[in-house]
């Protein structure tokens, strides 16, 4: 709720603080049990920082994160350790994130050892079981990461996240480093595991097309803010925010009758060190109004679980962040 993360920028001999990178600038959302939420935006929009803050891998500048009703930034050491077990992250790079000197079975056993779970035999069974669930074979257990393809390594990463039976998994660009042909396999696997095991899933991606089929809801971020949040089918059918419209227009659609005119955005993403005034998207927005550079559009509730922050949609109710009803 109202999560903010600014990274101070220091300059000069005295290393005085000369400003701050507004990585995450007041975002609010909830995630339900068994829900898959996509967080989408161009690189540098703050989506990875948001993901890491939710897991308390980064302390926020301000704001709160509630996990099952408890503020995770107020947790004591012991409670935090239990929380670590319930929240897992899968990174983009299946090459750099696996220790090349450990066998798969050691890699998968390690989280269980860290949390002092199970006997040796039980851990071994857990490893076998989780390998099967991610589509690997029992004999893969004795091999090393370099003996696997990129897709298989990402399966190992998923198995490592899964073995602790978490309630929340965050995938930070989990398929971006993989061949296009393998991306769908891995996403389908994540989607299937999510349905079977019932954990909540957050998928962070720069590609709206990639996450289309596994997310229940999608949050679109631009320069540290959520500009639109909606159920996936509504968002893909009828995006409300001009930025979402532009992102979606770049996603290939197989059916020519449903093809959208490609919207090409002018200019680059502005620096998060000095975000533009008013609506941060205004220097690039093809539908900009006079008010846009002056006034920041508030987040509005458009009904049916849709929220958008844009002056073109001024009729909705003002939306206030809360976490009631959240998981």
Residues of this chain that interact with ligand SF4 (CB under 6 A) are 241-242, 279, 281-282, 285, 287-289, 292, 297, 310-312
Pick from ligand SF4, Mg ion, none: which does 282 bind, CB < 5 to 8 A by kind? ligand SF4
Residue 136 phi, psi dihedral angles, 5° rounding: -110, 170
Nearest distance from C-beta of residue 239 to ligand SF4, angstroms: 11
User: CB-based burial of residue 144 (10 Å sphere; 0-12 exposed, 13-18 middle, 19+ buried)?
Assistant: middle
Alpha-carbon span 50 to 56, nearest angstrom: 10
Residue 114 tokens, joined: 């860290």
Nearer to Mg ion among residue 88 and residue 105 (C-beta): 88
Nearer to Mg ion among residue 7 and residue 323 (C-beta): 7
> Where are any strands of DSSP class E within 34-96?
36-40, 66-67, 70-71, 87-90
* Closest alpha carbon to 50 in 83, 28, 74: 28
* Element containing residue 306 per DSSP (H, E): strand 306-308
Pick from ligand SF4, Mg ion, none: which does 223 bind, CB < 5 to 8 A by kind? none
In terms of residues, how long is the chain?
327
Which residue minimizes CB distance to Mg ion? 48
Nearer to ligand SF4 among residue 161 and residue 292 (C-beta): 292
Nearer to Mg ion among residue 48 and residue 88 (C-beta): 48
What 3-state class would DSSP assign to 196? helix
Pick from Mg ion, ligand SF4, none: which does 161 bind, CB < 5 to 8 A by kind? none
Nearest distance from C-beta of residue 152 to ligand SF4, angstroms: 42
Nearer to ligand SF4 among residue 184 and residue 234 (C-beta): 234
Nearer to ligand SF4 among residue 148 and residue 222 (C-beta): 222
Q: Answer yes or no: are the C-beta atoms of 225 and 29 closer than 8 Å.
A: no
Residue 313 tokens, joined: 């949609």
Nearest distance from C-beta of residue 151 to ligand SF4, angstroms: 37
Nearest distance from C-beta of residue 281 to ligand SF4, angstroms: 4
Nearer to ligand SF4 among residue 135 and residue 276 (C-beta): 276
Nearest distance from C-beta of residue 71 to Mg ion, angstroms: 25
**Count of other CB atoms within 10 angstroms of residue 312:** 15
Residue 53 tokens, joined: 């803050």
Pick from ligand SF4, Mg ion, none: which does 28 bind, CB < 5 to 8 A by kind? none
Nearest distance from C-beta of residue 42 to Mg ion, angstroms: 10
Pick from Mg ion, ligand SF4, none: which does 48 bind, CB < 5 to 8 A by kind? Mg ion
Q: Which residues make Cβ contacts (< 8 Å) with residue 245, sequence separation at least 6?
A: 239, 263
* Closest alpha carbon to 87 in 190, 201, 173, 198: 201
Nearest distance from C-beta of residue 23 to Mg ion, angstroms: 10
Instruction: Provide the binding-site residues for Mg ion, judged by CB under 5 A.
Output: 48
């Amino acid at each position: 709720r109202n999560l903010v993360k600014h990274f101070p920028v220091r300059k000069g001999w005295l290393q005085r603080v000369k400003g701050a990178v507004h990585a995450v600038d007041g975002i609010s959302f909830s995630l339900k049990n068994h829900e898959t939420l996509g967080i989408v935006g161009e690189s540098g929009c703050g989506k990875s920082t948001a993901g890491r803050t939710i897991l308390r891998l980064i302390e926020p500048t301000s704001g709160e994160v509630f996990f099952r009703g408890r503020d995770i930034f107020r947790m004591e050491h012991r409670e935090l350790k239990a929380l670590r077990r319930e929240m897992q992250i899968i990174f983009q790079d299946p090459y750099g994130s696996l220790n090349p000197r450990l066998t798969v079975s050691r890699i998968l056993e390690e989280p269980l050892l860290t949390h002092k779970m199970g006997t040796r035999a039980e851990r071994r069974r857990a490893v076998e079981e989780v390998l099967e669930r991610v589509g690997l074979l029992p004999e893969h257990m004795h091999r090393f990461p370099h003996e696997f393809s990129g897709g298989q390594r990402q399966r190992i990463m998923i198995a490592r996240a899964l073995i602790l039976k978490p309630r929340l998994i965050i995938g930070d660009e989990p398929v971006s480093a993989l061949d296009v042909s393998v991306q769908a396999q891995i996403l389908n696997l994540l989607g299937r595991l999510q349905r079977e095991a019932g954990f909540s899933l957050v998928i962070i991606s720069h590609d709206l097309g990639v996450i289309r089929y596994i997310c229940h809801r999608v949050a679109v971020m631009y320069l540290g803010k959520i500009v639109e949040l909606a159920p996936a089918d509504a968002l893909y059918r009828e995006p409300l925010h001009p930025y979402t419209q532009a992102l979606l227009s770049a996603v290939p659609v197989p059916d020519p009758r449903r093809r959208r005119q490609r919207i090409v955005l002018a200019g680059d993403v502005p620096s998060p060190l000095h975000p533009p005034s008013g609506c941060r998207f205004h220097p690039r927005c093809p539908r900009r109004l006079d008010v846009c550079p002056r006034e920041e559009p508030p987040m509005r509730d458009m009904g049916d679980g849709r929220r958008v922050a844009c002056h073109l949609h001024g009729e909705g109710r003002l939306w206030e962040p809360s976490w009631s009803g959240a998981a």
